Amino acid sequence: MMAQSAEQPLISFMVVVRNEQAHIERCLSTMLDQTLAPDRYEIIVVDGLSRDDSRAIVERIIAANPDRSIRLLDNPGLILSSGWNIGIKAARGKYVIRPDAHGEVPRDFLERSLAAMEAHPEAAAVGGALETIGQGFWGETIAALLSSRVGVGGSTFRVGGEPGPRETVVFGLYRRQDLIEIGGFDEGLRVNQDNVCHARLRAAGKILYFDPSIRSTYYARGTLKTLWQQMFRRSRWLVLMFKHQRSQNFSPRYYVPLGFVLTILALLIAGLWAPLLWIVLAGLLGVYALIGMAVAAGRKLRPLQVPAFPPAMFVLHFSYGLGELIGFLILPFYRPDESRTHPLKGTT
């Protein structure tokens, strides 16, 4: 199904979905309600063969907006990177922008992103600040964690910072041709494809520009279990990325959780011969918990969420570090499928 403007759009607004019935309507509503003139952008939804009502919701939105340029495409590859590549190939705009289905954007999102790109013609992509919010007891706690330096380190788009070049951007506006020149998104990666994409752009001499005036919202995972699963999977692939992008890779700060896990495991094992080390470990974890509670006390959390903050922090750090450890153990045996690493090479 497709409704199209007669004029060539300047921006292609892309969102890749799979079983996102809880979020897709809210996401598309914010994409449709932009201050930028409707004929200057199109919306491309790429669906990974959803088994829930995601597709029906998108079709209903298309039918309700016959005067808007909205397209629904299939993503038989199911993963984000194949979906983004399908969207990039189909895009009619000079620029493409890709918010997450779990996200929402304000009315001036496109206008501010375009203004930043025009103000910085040297940039291949521009992106702004991401406000992480949660729903329910654990969702709110996790959102506060993911918005703190103790949770995500120096991630500028999450914790804020001055405008300027960065190693990554979130919900970015990209020059479509620059993405094509680096071969698009690596379809050999199931997660963290944007990290490799950004590393390849930087290796090609491109700039990623952070502008804090561009704002968007992201809904955090709502349970400790889903947080663990998300971070373990992401960090395992973070290590495997070494065989996908060898130059201008990733900051050493990404591997601090690995040191955290190795310290805990070393003290646990060494304590079998020197039990005093278990007391040392308990003391270190006690200090860790106090730091977490001190950070939580400065956040807008309910009283019971303050003592819940350190367990969430531990799940985040330990699952991330454990995923990295597993990644390094399997790295010598991992072989990327080279045929899938640059799928847009040669695309026009």
Host domain of residue 50: 2-221
What's phi and psi for 251, nearest 5 deg? -60, 145
Domain count, the chain: 1
| 3-state class (DSSP) for residue 149 | helix
Q: What CATH number should be reported for the domain holding residue 176?
A: 3.90.550.10
In this predicted model, what pLDDT tens digit does every residue of 163-217 receive, in sequence order?
Answer: 888 888 888 999 999 999 999 999 988 788 888 888 889 988 999 999 999 999 8
Q: Tell me how far apart the alpha carbons of residues 315 and 333 are, in angstroms, rounded to a whole number.
A: 28
Model pTM score: 0.85
Residue 69 covered by a domain: yes
Helix (H, G, I), strand (E, B) or coil at 126: strand
Q: Which amino acid is at 154?
A: G
Q: Is residue 252 part of a domain?
A: no
pLDDT one-digit tens code per residue, 94-150: 999 988 887 889 999 999 999 999 999 999 999 998 888 888 999 999 999 988 888
Classify residue 340: in a domain, yes or no: no
Residue 232 included in any domain: no
Query: On the CB side of 215, how many CA atoms lie within 13 Å of its CA?
Result: 6
Beta carbons of 191 and 234 less than 8 angstroms apart: yes
Answer positive or negative: Cα dihedral of 291, 224, 250, 144: negative
Contact 27, 171 (CB under 8 A): no
Q: Is residue 285 part of a domain?
A: no
Q: Is 133 a member of any domain?
A: yes
